[in-house]
Amino acid sequence: MLAGSPRGESPARRKIAASKAASTVARVKRNEIVCDRDGWETVSTVQHFANAHLEVLTDSVRTPLHPQPRSWTIAHRKAAVVIAPMTRDGKIILIRQERIPIRAAIWEMPSGQIDRGGAGKQEIQQAALCELREEAGYELAADGELIALGYFFSSPGFTDEHCYFFLAQPVEPCADFVRDETEAILDCRPFAIEELRRMIAENEIRDANTLGICARLAARGLLSLDPR
């Protein structure tokens, strides 16, 4: 968790913060999920770093509990999609992907950022189907359905990233699929629900997106995680 702004902040930086506040408030308000409302107010923002995937900011924010602004360092990320691909015989497709921050390859559901900010329902669904094809090499069958399962916050103590959950069923392999060589995916295969349950219980699945969507599927009665 990252909190607080640097001490001894210069007047020049404070001036920059004030000048950026209006544009930051506008950015926040464009996000329907994370926005200033109901007693939340962004007073100022200082940008520390930004690239195509990540922006690190220190926001000064009034909250319903704290009328005096509080400073908090935040990693701003694009929204993302997480897809649970289910085959006609009820198996779940997982990918095994290298993850540089943790120096390991782990099993997880296909997922990815939504490139277009402020995307609507159709764009979010298209992003999910795109990630399903690009990462897993699967697509919806002709009688398939993409079922929206809501969203979750991946780590709200330091980032505003939120991910949309989808169940894609039934899925089938894409014809003539060739994975992009820039992907870091080592394996992709279907798992029976019993094997998926074992992998969760024995800590083989450690990805928050995958654990989160499995919990959502179980709560909706779309996947049984009860031991037998």
Mean pLDDT, the chain, rounded, equals 87
Mean pLDDT of 157-171: 96
pLDDT surpassing 60 at residue 217? yes
CATH code of the domain made up of 80-219: 3.90.79.10
pLDDT surpassing 60 at residue 136? yes
Structural domain boundaries in the chain: 11-77, 80-219
**∠155-159-165 over CA atoms, to 5°?**
55
Cβ atoms of residues 21 and 42 within 8 Å: yes
pLDDT surpassing 80 at residue 9? no
Cβ atoms of residues 165 and 216 within 8 Å: yes
pLDDT surpassing 80 at residue 21? no
Phi-psi domain of 197 (left: phi exceeds 0; alpha: psi -120 through 50; beta: other): alpha
Predicted TM-score of the model (pTM): 0.83
- Exposure on the CB side of residue 85, measured as CA atoms within 13 A: 30
pLDDT of 31 reads 66
Q: Angle between the 193-201 and 208-219 helix axes, to the nearest 10 degrees?
A: 120
